[in-house]
A and B are shown apart, each in its own frame.
Chain A
Amino acid sequence: MKRYLTGRIGQALLVLWGAYTVTYFILYMLPGDTLAIMLSASGMEADGLSPEDLAKARTYYGLDKGLFEQYFDLLWRALHGDLGQSLSLGRPVTALLAERLPQTLALAGTAIVLSLLAGVGLAYLTAYLQWRPLKTALARLPSLGFSVPVFWMGLLLIQVFAFALGWLPATGSQGLASLVLPAITLAIPSAAVYAQVLQRGFQGVWQEPYITTAFAKGLSRAQVQARHGLRNAALPLLTLVGLQVGNTVSGAVLVETIFSRNGVGRLAQEAVLRQDIPVVLAIVAVSAAAFVVVNLIVDLLYPYLDPRITHTAKVS
C-alpha cells in the first residue's frame, strides 16, 4: 500500500511538472517574438525603443538568458511562491491570485455540489421509472445539457431570472444571491456528464445477474436499485469528479466573464486579451495543480469504494 501511495504521488508530481513545462514552452517558445509581446503587454511599443532600451528590457524580462536557464529560473521561483509580475497591472501575480481565488473557489465548489446532486438525482430517477415515454425523455436530457454553450445558458438565465423576472442579480461578486445564477450555469455541463455516465452505469448494472438474485430474494424495485444498483453503478463517478475539475475551471472563465465576477477566470480572460504572459502561465499552472491534487485524492480514495481492489482474492 505504501508503495502504491509513493508511486501515485510521484506520478502526480511528474504530471504537474510536465504541465508546467508544456505551458512554459507554449508561452515562451511559440510566439515569434516574445519580447514584442511582453512589451506590448506592458503598454510599450517595440518599435519605439532604441537598441539599448531593448537590451535593457530584455534583461528586465529575463529574456537574455538561454532558454533552459530562463526556464529553470522561473521554475525555481515558482516553487518558492514567486510567480512573477503581471505585465499589464504591474503587481505580483501571487497577490493577484490570492485576491481572486476565493471567489472562484466559492463558485466552483457550489457548482460541483449542485452538479452532483442534479446529475445523480436525474440518473436515479431515470433508472427507477418504468414508463417508457418519460424515461426516454429524461434519458435524452443530459445530451441537451452537453449541447448548450455555457455562456449562452448564462445569458439566457440572466434574461429570464434577472431581467424579466427580477429575482436574482445579473452581475456582481458579493453575497449569496449573486452566486446562484453563476453556480447553476456552471453546474449544468458537469451535471449532464454525471447524469449520462450514471445512466449508462445503471443500464449496465440492471442487466447483471446479481440483480436477478436480488429480485429473487423478494426485494422491491426501489430496494434493489438503492442497495444493489447504486453502489455498483456509481463506481466510475468518483473518477469522473476528478476529471471534471478541468471542465469546471474552463467553465469558470466563461461564467465569470458573463456575470462580471471578480474571480481567477476573468483574470485569465483579461490576461489573454492583454497578452500578459506571466499571469497566464501562473493561472494555468495553478489550475493544473488543482487538477492533479484532486485526481490524486480520488485515486487514493478509490480502493475504499471498490472492495475488489483492496481485498486481493485469495485463491482457496
Chain B
Amino acid sequence: MTIDIPLTPIDTQHASAVAPPATPWKRRTRLQRVYQALAPLLRRPGFSLALLIVLFALFAALAPQLLTSFDPYATSPADKLSAPSVVHWFGTDELGRDLYTRVVYGARLSVLAALLAVTIALVGGLGLGALAGFAGGRVDAALMRLIDVLLALPGLLLALAIVTAIGFGTVPVAVAVGVGIIPGFARTTRAEVLRIKTLPYVEAARLGGASWVRTLLRHVLPNAWGPVAVLATLDFGAAILATAGLSFLGFGAAPPAAEWGTLIANGRHFLITAPWVSLLPGLFVVAVVFSLNHLARSAEEHAR
C-alpha cells in the first residue's frame, strides 16, 4: 500500500518544441539549497531555543569577557556563599567569586576540550570506519577487531589510564575522551559505507567510469555524512559530560581554573548549606547538553 508522488502528465511534445535556448535556468547554489532545507526547522520554537543555548555556550567559550563583568578569579571573602540574587545570578562560591562568571569562563575550557575530543574521534573514527567499510574483507575484519579492543576498555577507565600516564590537565582529558569515542564513529561510518556501497547509484557511477576515489569522495562519504553528523553532535554533548566527569574527579585543570566539573566538585562540600554552588553549574551543563541532543534529533527527524 504505497502512495507514490502523483504523476505529472508531461506534455512532452510541447516542451521539446518550446524549449528556447535563451531560457536562462539558473542552478540553485548549494547555499540556497541548504537554507531552504533549514528554514522549516528554525521556525520550531524548541529548535531555536536549543540553538540559542548552544550558541551562547560557544560564544562563552570564545569571548567570555563579553558576557560578564566580573573577574572569575577575584576573591571576595565578604560575599562568600551568598544565594543567587540580582547581582550574583548564580550566587557565589566559598571564596566569594561570582559563580555565573566562573561558569561562563569555564565554558572555554570545557567546550574547547569537548571540541578537541570530538575532532580526534571524528578523524580517527571516520578514517577507520570508511577504510573498513570500503575495503572490506581482511582489512575490515582486522580493523573491527581493533575497534572491539577499544570498546572493551570502558570510556572512563581508558581515560583514567591515559591521564595516569601523561598527567592531569585539560588537554590530556580531551585526548583521553576523544580516543574513547572513536569506536562509535568508526562503527557508524562503517555501517553507512557498507549500506551505501551496495546502492544502485554507486554501481552506476562505477559503470560510468568513475574511479574508486571519485566514488568514495563524491558519492559514498557525502551520503554517509548524515548519521555521522548526528552522532558528532550527540557525542559533543557526551564529550562535555565526560570531560566534566574527569575534572570532577580531580584530573582536569588545576585550580583556580574554572572547568565545569571542577566547579561541581568544589561545591560538594557545601551541599547542605549552599547547594547552588554545585547544582547551578550542573544545571547549566544539562541545558547545554540537552540542547545539543535536541538539535541532533530534530535534524535527524527532519532529514528522514
A–B in direct contact per CB < 8 Å: yes
A binding-site residues for B, Cβ under 8 Å: 11, 14-16, 18-19, 22-23, 26-27, 29-31, 37, 143-144, 146-152, 155-156, 158-159, 163, 243, 245-247, 249-251, 253-254, 257-258, 268-269, 271-273, 275, 277, 280-281, 283-284, 287-288, 291-292
Chain B, interface size category, equals 35 or more
Q: Could you tell me if A272 and B163 are in contact, using CB atoms closer than 8 angstroms?
A: yes
Q: Which residues of B contact A (CB under 8 A)?
A: 145-146, 148-158, 160-166, 234, 237-238, 241, 244-245, 248-251, 261, 264-265, 267-268, 271-272, 275, 278-279, 282, 285-286, 289-290, 292-294, 297
In the complex, the answer to whether A152 meets B165 with C-beta atoms within 8 Å is no
State the CA gap A251–B155 with chains docked (Å): 10
Q: With A and B bound together, what is the CA distance between A280 and B161 in angstroms?
A: 7
Cβ B250 vs Cβ A273 within 8 A: yes
Q: How far is the CA of A146 from the CA of B251 in the complex (A)?
A: 23
Min CB gap B125→A, angstroms: 16
B245 touches A151 (CB 8 A): yes
Q: Judging by beta carbons under 8 Å apart, are B151 and A163 in contact?
A: no
Complex Cα distance A23/B157, Å? 10
Are B279 and A152 in contact (CB-based, < 8 A)?
A: yes
A254-B245, A269-B249, A280-B160 known; A156+B290 contact, CB < 8 A: no
B165, B166, B238, B297, most chain A CB atoms within 10 A: B165
Q: Contacts A19-B153, A26-B165, A249-B154; is A146 near B160 (CB within 8 Å)?
A: no
Does A268 lie within 8 Å of B289, measured CB to CB?
no
Residues of A contacting B161 in the complex (Cβ-Cβ under 8 angstroms): 23, 26-27, 280-281, 284
A147 touches B293 (CB 8 A): yes
The CA of A264 and the CA of B139, in the complex, are separated in Å by: 37
Q: With a CB–CB cut-off of 8 A, which chain B residues contact A29?
A: 165
A268 touching B145 by the CB < 8 A rule? no
Complexed CA–CA distance, A247 and B181 (Å): 12
Give the residues in chain A near B290, CB-CB below 8 Å: 143-144, 147
Q: For A245, list chain B residues within 8 Å (CB).
A: 154
Apart from the given pairs A143-B297, A272-B251, A291-B153, 9 other A-B contacts in the complex at a CB distance below 8 Å? A15-B148, A18-B145, A27-B161, A143-B290, A143-B293, A148-B289, A246-B151, A254-B249, A269-B250
Contact A15 B237 (CB under 8 A): no
Residues of A within 8 A of B237 (CB): 146-147
The one of B151, B156, B267, B282 in contact with A243, judged by C-beta atoms closer than 8 angstroms, is B151
Bound complex: CA A246 to CA B279 (Å): 27
A133 to B165, CA, bound (A): 50
Contacts A15-B145, A156-B279, A243-B151 given: A30-B160 contact, CB under 8 Å? no
B160 touches A272 (CB 8 A): yes
Taking CB atoms, residues of chain B closer than 8 Å to A254 are 156, 245, 248-249
- B15 → A minimal CB distance (Å): 38
Residue of A at shortest CB range from B146? A18
Distance, CA A146 to CA B31, complexed state (A): 33
In the bound complex, do residue B244 and residue A149 qualify as a contact, i.e. CB atoms below 8 Å apart? yes
Contacts of B279 in A (CB 8 A): 152, 155-156, 159
Which residues of B lie under 8 Å from residue A159 when comparing CB positions? 271, 275, 279
In the complex, are the beta carbons of B154 and A155 less than 8 A apart? no
Point out the residues of chain A lying under 8 angstroms from B275, CB to CB: 159
Chain B residues with CB under 8 Å of A143's CB are: 290, 293-294, 297
Give the nearest-CB partner of B273 in chain A: A163
Closest Cβ–Cβ distance, residue A15 to chain B (whole Å): 5
**26 examples of A-B residue contacts, CB within 8 angstroms:** A19-B153, A23-B153, A23-B161, A27-B164, A29-B165, A144-B290, A148-B286, A148-B289, A149-B264, A149-B282, A151-B261, A151-B265, A152-B278, A159-B271, A243-B151, A246-B152, A250-B157, A253-B156, A254-B249, A272-B164, A272-B249, A275-B164, A284-B154, A284-B160, A291-B154, A292-B152
